[in-house]
Amino acid sequence: MRHISNYLWLYIFILSSGFAVSAQAQEFRQRAHHIFWKNQEAGTEREIDFGRGVSAKILGKYPLLRDEKKVRYISRIGTGISAQLGRPEIRYYFGILDTEEINAFAAPGGYVFITHGALKLMRNEAQLAGVLAHELAHIGQKHIIRKLKLQSTDTSMTSGIAQVLGGATLAAKIALERLNDLAFKMLMEEGLSKEDEADADQKALEMLITLGYDPQSYLNFLQSLKPHLSQGGAEVLSKTHPTIEFRYQSLSEFISRHNLDKIQGKKNENRFKKIMDTP
Amino acid sequence: MTNFPPKKCNSYFQSYKFFYHILAAVFLLLSLFVSGTIASENTGYIKGLGAVLREQPSIQSKKLMNLSRGTAVLSMESKGIWQKVVSGENQGWLLRGQISKFPVKKKKLVLGQKIRLQSSSGRRLRLRTFSAVVGVRGLVDSKGKKISPYKTDYVALEWLEKQPSDEENSVIFLTYTE
Window from A224-233, A235-244, B165-174 with minimum mean pLDDT:
A224-233
Q: Is B98:A210 a contact under the CB 8 Å cutoff? A: yes
- B36: closest chain A residue by CA: A26
Burial (Cβ within 10 Å: 0-12, 13-18, ≥19) of residue A248: middle
* Predicted local distance difference test score (pLDDT) of residue B105: 83
Give the relative orientation of helices A2-61 and A170-185 as an angle to the nearest 10 degrees.
Answer: 70
**Angle (nearest 5°) at CA B77 between B75 and B80:** 110
- A76: closest chain B residue by CA: B170
Secondary structure class of A234 (helix, strand, coil): coil
The average pLDDT across B57-67 equals 90
Distance, CA of A115 to CA of B137 (rounded, Å):
28
Whether residue A90 and residue B108 make contact (CB cut-off 8 A), yes or no, is yes
Mean residue pLDDT across chain B = 77
Task: Give A225 or B115, the one with higher predicted confidence.
Answer: A225
Q: Is A105:B173 a contact under the CB 8 Å cutoff? A: no
The average pLDDT across A116-140 equals 96
Distance, CA of B84 to CA of B38 (rounded, Å):
16
Across A130-144, A230-244, B12-26, B94-108, which has the greatest mean pLDDT? A130-144
Q: Is A192:A71 a contact under the CB 8 Å cutoff? A: no
* Predicted local distance difference test score (pLDDT) of residue A81: 95
- A78: closest chain B residue by CA: B170
Q: Where are the beta strands (DSSP E) in chain A?
A: 93-97, 104-107, 111-115
Strands A93-97 and A111-115: parallel
pLDDT at A148 over 70: yes
- A54: closest chain B residue by CA: B152
Secondary structure class of A109 (helix, strand, coil): coil
pLDDT at B53 over 80: yes
Distance, CA of B32 to CA of B30 (rounded, Å):
5
Distance, CA of B64 to CA of B53 (rounded, Å):
5
**Angle (nearest 5°) at CA B137 between B132 and B138:** 90
Nearest Cα residue to A258 out of A193, A211, A181, A202:
A202
> Which of B140, B153, B154 to probe by mutation at the A interface, max A CB count within 10 Å?
B153
What's the pLDDT band for A82 if we cut at 50, 70, 90? very high
pLDDT at B70 over 70: yes
pLDDT at B91 over 70: yes
Chain A residues with CB-CB distance to B108 below 8 A: 41, 44-45, 48, 89-91
What's the pLDDT band for A159 if we cut at 50, 70, 90? very low
Residues 89-128 in A contacting B (C-alpha not used; CB under 8 Å): 89-93, 95
The pTM score is 0.78
* Predicted local distance difference test score (pLDDT) of residue B86: 93
* Predicted local distance difference test score (pLDDT) of residue A157: 39
Secondary structure class of A278 (helix, strand, coil): coil
Q: Is A77:A129 a contact under the CB 8 Å cutoff? A: yes
DSSP designation for B106: P
**pLDDT tens across B95-144, in order?**
999 999 888 888 877 654 444 444 445 454 454 555 555 555 555 655 66
The average pLDDT across A239-263 equals 92
* Predicted local distance difference test score (pLDDT) of residue A131: 97
Q: Is B104:B49 a contact under the CB 8 Å cutoff? A: no
**pLDDT tens across A28-63, in order?**
666 665 665 556 666 787 888 889 889 999 999 999
What's the pLDDT band for A164 if we cut at 50, 70, 90? low
Burial (Cβ within 10 Å: 0-12, 13-18, ≥19) of residue A244: middle
Task: Give A15 or A107, the one with higher predicted confidence.
Answer: A107
Distance, CA of B31 to CA of B163 (rounded, Å):
53
Chain A residues with CB-CB distance to B51 below 8 A: 84
Order the strands of the A93-97 sheet from edge to edge: A93-97, A111-115, A104-107
Whether residue B153 and residue A173 make contact (CB cut-off 8 A), yes or no, is no
Q: Does B19 touch chain A (CB under 8 A)?
A: no
H or E stretch including A19? Answer: helix A2-61
* Predicted local distance difference test score (pLDDT) of residue A160: 55
